[in-house]
Amino acid sequence: MSSPAETSETGALSRRTFLKVGTAAGGGLMLGFHLPAFAQEAAKPAKYVLNPNAFIAIAPDGKVAFQIPQEEMGQGVYTSLSQLLADELDVDFANVTPLPAPPIDALYGSPRSHRMSTGGSTSIRSFYTALRQVGASGRAMMVQAAAQQWKVDPATLRTESGQVIDDAHGGRKLSYGELAPRAAKLPAPQDVTLKADKDLKLIGKPVKRLDTPDKVNGKAQYGIDVRMDGLKIATLAASPVVGGKVAHVDSSKLPSGLQLVVLDDIVAVVGPHYWAAKKGLDSLAISWNGGDNGQYDSAKMWREIRETAAEDGVLAKEDGDAKKTLTGAGAAKMDIAYELPFLSHAPMEPQNFTVHVKDGGCEMWGGSQVQTSAVAAAAKTLDTTPDKINFHNQMLGGGFGRRLDTDMVVKSVRVAQKVDGPVKVIWSREEDIQQDMYRPAYRNVMSASLGKDGKIAAWTHRIAGGAVSVRMSGKPLKGGLDRGSLEGATENSNGIPNFPVEYIEAPPKALNVGYWRGVAPNNNVFATESLMDELALKAGKDPVAFRLAHLDGAPRLKAAVEQVAQRSNWGGKLPKRAGRGICAQFCFGTYIATVCEAEVDDNGEAKIRQVHAVIDAGRIVNPDTLMAQVQGGLMFGFTAALYGDITVKDGRVQQRNFNDYRIMRMNEAPPIDVHIILTPEASGGIGEPGCTAGPPSLVNAIAAATGIRLRKLPIDRDILAGRKIA
Amino acid sequence: MVTLQINGQPHTVDAPDDMPLLWVLRDLVGLTGTKFGCGIAQCGACTVHLDGKAVRSCLLPVGSIGNRAITTIEAIGDTPNGARIQKAWLDIEVVQCGYCQSGQIMSATALLNRTPNPDDSDIDAAMAGNICRCGTYVRIRQAIKNAAKTV
């Protein structure tokens, strides 16, 4: 994580980078309309400031470049954040080019955290108002500049499509491109009025994406596509056991012309192209000292998680007195545990970074979800300051949380330190899967009881799992509570009067844990929505009716459940061994109700027949992108439920590639209907809600289809085929 | 030295016969639109056309290609079906991260080349070799059907 001191150092790059980027985008002179204060302030911004000049540049021909602080990794953020800016600035979307903002927290950090980070479904939530204000400020400066030039009252002027228009004088016009030099000298207005909803032209509309035309013709450049003169290619093998070291490398069969790099815990081969580097690496006989973690396997790891989960945790929330209610509950009480496995991210673009170590620092290219942290990590590795790192962030071939970590930056820089000139370090798919920062495994220990009214009287939930914050920071939890493990368990209590939630850290020894699409709600929504379904069955109620009875305190979620039941023909007849399952969740600021329809064959294979989702994400920016994220998120979650399982033997991850770490394919992909409920509420996140809704809706559908309740993921086909008892 | 016919142009490259076409395209010729995903023909990100048929370039030794015409994502838009597929992709915004989409488009174009009006099972069979981690399958299926209607 970058400290304030580091970011102010990085800020020294800001003006130079901005002008360079602007020039590159315009193909000629591009005028950013910098505030007078911008030069000093941006040169060394002492603290976070929302500065319109940092985001917008307008060329004389009216072309507009936006520096987008969030990373494009498929979620459409280049387009959606551009919509916020362009609508308020009042420019034609066809004239807009989104560019990656340089790594400067003080200018491009989230208005919430003041850090650059693309994760947690926060981009729209954090930037919705801020970037509208930036766009509106820019528009006001254009109007002011025109008023000065024409010597009229700015209040008499209006704007349209990148022009200021003076209706009182025959509709004369000045383009933003003409006005930019004058506007650049004006102070940014402190208070601006945002457009009324009825005047919005881009926000809330299914505007075409700006990043996709180059993604259908091979032109889009991802980190792995970086090329330059003198570039060498490397591939690497890191210790297959966490904490292990290189013991010995036999390089007697290494082909000539290749460079062997042996570090403490990494062996890399550098060559003229990937094939040469890979053949070189394959020619080596490497032995490793695994150390203590070499004794771990999945059985032992799960034994430790279960032992930890049996202990009392730290209370994160406590409503009522669950212990007392459960003690007297008798047969109305259920005690259940749900377990989720370790998972790999497996983005389609394997990890890679291109690094040229020089001039006491380095220049580097790659895709990161945390631009300033990537710079800080490189600086620390080179024992230098962040201003010596020149980072060119690239399009991401998938993130899903994998690129919130910077281990790939550090490893690439370490290899590059041994290489003369620039080197692109590419992970093989096997290395990508076996050297991940895995979604933690979890065990949820839960109890609940029903009251005489058929509603839930008490509910306890103890979450046991690894804390990503601890692994990332290296510091222990404050008070034993990992806030990052709670979302999805604590926000929606379904009106249950006695409702404690506990957390206990169960740190895995042999694997590093990381943030994975859906983060904590991955675990918590699976546990809570599974238990809701089991309680409905126990109460003898229909699962939808049971949820609705508990949602009086969450009317937006209730509306989503009602609508999804209708759209999915809930209760309608289905073939034998087919069933529908529901998930009703509130997390990432978004309400989503999902019905999955699945069937199970005699071999225990589950097929998803169709899916309906109804989502209320408040104010939305691009409804088509939202639907795409829900569709894709559901597939990501279903893939995990059907196949996702990282296992360990002798401290080593056993899965290697897409043949044994399976991803759902076209022939398994169900139709997915997404319906949006529009509400004028604060925007919710959309990148992750679909992902977390997938597994519980599927497992609940399987229960409806077969009568078999699966309490552990991925789904066990032996249990569903009757070859094994649950 | 190997001479290959890539996108209608001859390219002579200094590559061993066993070097997969993928790395020749990416690292020697400089055509980076064809992607590396798995290296074992499991994901389809590296799909290109040989004489109009989809092949996985990550396992295809360049020494085995001879004079056959190689078409990559960079030139597929010059073919009628390639252009239709690209347009259909953009019309309904199939793409998310986009990394797999070069391969998806090459597989979909090859499908239309041999089956102008594919049904769902044709699409399943032709596209099941291409993984999309973003989960864009619903839209890929629709886009292929939309493109077929314009033939």
Alpha helix positions (H), A152-252: 176-183
Kindly state whether residue A677 falls inside one of the protein's structural domains: yes
Tell me whether residue A407 is exposed, middle or buried, using C-beta atoms within 10 angstroms of its C-beta: 0 to 12, 13 to 18, 19 or more. middle
Pairing of strands A578-587, A266-271: unpaired
Can you tell me the ipTM of this complex?
0.98
Kindly state whether residue A72 falls inside one of the protein's structural domains: yes
Q: Would you call B132 and A212 a contact, using CB atoms and an 8 Å cutoff?
A: no
Same domain, A397 and A286: yes
* Whether A110 contacts A117, CB under 8 Å: yes
* Whether A697 contacts A594, CB under 8 Å: yes
Domain boundary among A215, A242, A271: A215
Q: Say how far apart CA A77 and CA A396 lie, in whole Å.
A: 12
pLDDT at position A332 = 86
Tell me whether residue A671 is exposed, middle or buried, using C-beta atoms within 10 angstroms of its C-beta: 0 to 12, 13 to 18, 19 or more. middle
| SS3 assignment, position A87 | helix
Distance from the first to the final alpha carbon of chain A = 43
Contact A372/B at CB under 8 A: no
Over residues A62-68, mean pLDDT: 91
**Residues of chain A contacting residue B17, judged by C-beta atoms under 8 Å apart:** none
* pLDDT greater than 80 at residue A17: no
Percentage above 70 pLDDT, chain A:
94
| SS3 assignment, position A101 | coil
* pLDDT greater than 60 at residue A14: no
**Residues of chain B contacting residue A644, judged by C-beta atoms under 8 Å apart:** none
Contact B27/A at CB under 8 A: yes
Q: Would you call B99 and A225 a contact, using CB atoms and an 8 Å cutoff?
A: no
Same domain, A189 and A323: no
pLDDT at position A189 = 84
Over residues A253-263, mean pLDDT: 98
Q: Find the angle CA(B54)-CA(B58)-CA(B63) to the nearest 5 degrees.
A: 90
Q: Say which residues have a Cβ less than 8 Å from residue A24's Cβ, sequence separation at least 6.
A: none
Same domain, A640 and A660: yes
Which of B14, B21, B137, B139 to probe the A interface (max A CBs under 10 A)?
B137
Pairing of strands A56-58, A245-250: unpaired
Specify the higher pLDDT residue, A404 or A9: A404
pLDDT at position A19 = 38
Chains A and B form CB pairs within 8 A to the count of 180
Q: Which residue of A has its CA nearest to B59?
A: A275
The first and second tokens of residue A492, run together, are 């929606």
Over residues A250-264, mean pLDDT: 98
pLDDT at position A53 = 78
Q: Residue A390: which of A367, A414, A357 has the closest Cα?
A: A357
Strands of B53-56's sheet in order across: B9-13, B2-6, B69-71, B47-50, B53-56
Give me the residues of A, 625-664, that contact B with CB < 8 A.
625, 628-629, 631-636, 639, 657-659, 663-664
* Whether A559 contacts A570, CB under 8 Å: no
Give me the residues of B, 47-76, that contact A with CB < 8 A.
72-74, 76
Kindly state whether residue A434 falls inside one of the protein's structural domains: no
Same domain, A234 and A328: no
pLDDT at position A467 = 97
Same domain, A283 and A305: no
Q: Residue A702: which of A715, A687, A684 has the closest Cα?
A: A715
Q: Would you call B97 and A74 a contact, using CB atoms and an 8 Å cutoff?
A: yes
**Residues of chain A contacting residue B34, judged by C-beta atoms under 8 Å apart:** 218
Q: Residue A416: which of A367, A376, A378, A385 has the closest Cα?
A: A378
pLDDT tens profile A664-701: 999 999 999 999 999 999 999 999 999 999 999 999 99
Q: Which residue of B has its CA nearest to A71?
A: B97
Q: Would you call A398 and B133 a contact, using CB atoms and an 8 Å cutoff?
A: yes
Q: Cα dihedral sign for B119, B120, B122, B126?
A: positive
Distance from the Cα of A624 to chain B's closest Cα (Å) equals 8
pLDDT at position A46 = 67
Same domain, A454 and A532: yes
| SS3 assignment, position A707 | coil
Neighbours of A129 (CB within 10 A): 16
Choose among A219, A397, A639: nearest Cβ to B33: A219
Kindly state whether residue A329 falls inside one of the protein's structural domains: yes
pLDDT at position A160 = 97
The enclosing H or E element of B42 equals none
Give me the residues of A, 166-225, that contact B with CB < 8 A.
208-209, 211-213, 215-222, 224-225
Domain boundary among A195, A215, A235: A215
Contact A348/B at CB under 8 A: yes
Choose among B16, B86, B125: nearest Cβ to A217: B86
Over residues A127-143, mean pLDDT: 94
The total number of structural domains in chain A stands at 3
pLDDT tens profile A357-396: 999 999 999 999 999 999 999 999 999 999 999 999 999 9
Alpha-carbon distances, residue A429 vs A345, A480, A658, B97 (angstroms):
11, 36, 8, 18
Same domain, A278 and A416: yes
Q: Would you call A273 and B138 a contact, using CB atoms and an 8 Å cutoff?
A: no
Find out if CATH 3.40.50.10090 is the number for domain B78-149. Answer: no
The single residue listed with the structure tokens 């008798």 is A330
Residue A370, domain CATH: 3.30.365.10
Q: Residue B124: which of A491, A139, A666 has the closest Cα?
A: A666
Choose among B28, B95, B124: nearest Cβ to A273: B28
* Whether A143 contacts A164, CB under 8 Å: yes
pLDDT at position B64 = 97
Helices (H) and strands (E) in chain B, counts: 6, 5
Q: Residue A208: which of A122, A28, A86 has the closest Cα?
A: A86
Contact B138/A at CB under 8 A: yes
Confidence grade of residue A52 (pLDDT, cut at 50, 70, 90)? confident
Q: Say how far apart CA A171 and CA A141 lie, in whole Å.
A: 19
The single residue listed with the structure tokens 């919710």 is A684
Question: Would you write out chain B's pLDDT as a tens digit for each of its 151 residues?
Answer: 999 999 999 999 999 999 999 999 999 999 999 999 999 999 999 999 999 999 999 999 999 999 999 999 999 999 999 999 999 999 999 999 999 999 999 999 999 999 999 999 999 999 999 999 999 999 999 999 999 999 7
Q: Say how far apart CA A708 and CA A3 lie, in whole Å.
A: 51
Contact B133/A at CB under 8 A: yes
Q: Say how far apart CA A473 and CA A227 lie, in whole Å.
A: 34
Q: Would you call A663 and B131 a contact, using CB atoms and an 8 Å cutoff?
A: yes
Over residues A424-442, mean pLDDT: 98
Confidence grade of residue A6 (pLDDT, cut at 50, 70, 90)? very low
Give me the residues of B, 80-109, that contact A with CB < 8 A.
86, 89-90, 93, 95-102, 105
pLDDT at position A60 = 86
Distance from the Cα of A35 to chain B's closest Cα (Å) equals 35
pLDDT at position A12 = 29
Same domain, A534 and A388: no
Q: Say how far apart CA A695 and CA A340 lie, in whole Å.
A: 10
pLDDT at position A29 = 25
**Following DSSP, what letter does each residue of A21-68 receive, concatenated?**
HHHHHHTS--EE---TTHHHHHHS--S----GGGTEEE-TTS-EEEEE
**Residues of chain A contacting residue B127, judged by C-beta atoms under 8 Å apart:** 665-667
Strand partners, A587: A590
State yes or no: cis peptide before A440, omega within 30 of 0.
no
Choose among B76, B98, B138: nearest Cβ to A631: B138
Q: Say how far apart CA A374 and CA A473 lie, in whole Å.
A: 15
- The mean of the pLDDT values for chain A is 92
Same domain, A638 and A714: yes
Q: Say how far apart CA B132 and CA A216 lie, in whole Å.
A: 14
Q: Residue A317: which of A441, A463, A449, A440 has the closest Cα?
A: A463
* Whether A34 contacts B58, CB under 8 Å: no
**Following DSSP, what letter does each residue of A274-339 receive, concatenated?**
HHHHHHHHHH-EEEEE-GGGGG--HHHHHHHHHHHHTS--EEEEEES-HHHHHHT-GGGEEEEEEE
Domain borders along chain B are: 2-75, 78-149
* Whether A210 contacts A79, CB under 8 Å: yes
Distance from the Cα of B74 to chain A's closest Cα (Å) equals 5
* pLDDT greater than 60 at residue A619: yes
pLDDT at position A188 = 80
Same domain, A119 and A204: yes
Same domain, A79 and A179: yes
Q: Which domain holds residue A371?
A: 223-291+351-426
Choose among B16, B36, B95: nearest Cβ to A224: B36
Domain boundary among A398, A426, A454: A426
* pLDDT greater than 80 at residue A550: yes
Percentage above 90 pLDDT, chain A:
87
* pLDDT greater than 80 at residue A273: yes
The first and second tokens of residue B45, run together, are 């990100």
Pairing of strands B2-6, A64-68: unpaired
pLDDT at position A39 = 35
Range in A24-28, A163-167, A227-231 the model is least confident about: A24-28
Phi and psi at residue A601, to the nearest 5°: -90, 180
Find out if CATH 3.10.20.30 is the number for domain B2-75. Answer: yes
pLDDT at position A187 = 83
Q: Would you call A666 and B72 a contact, using CB atoms and an 8 Å cutoff?
A: no
B2-75 and B78-149: identical CATH topology: no
Q: Would you call B101 and A222 a contact, using CB atoms and an 8 Å cutoff?
A: no
Same domain, A229 and A315: no
pLDDT tens profile A318-369: 999 999 999 988 888 999 999 999 999 999 999 999 999 999 999 999 999 9
pTM for the predicted model, two decimal places: 0.94
Q: Residue A401: which of A496, A522, A562, A280 has the closest Cα?
A: A522
Q: Would you call B137 and A426 a contact, using CB atoms and an 8 Å cutoff?
A: no
Over residues A8-12, mean pLDDT: 29
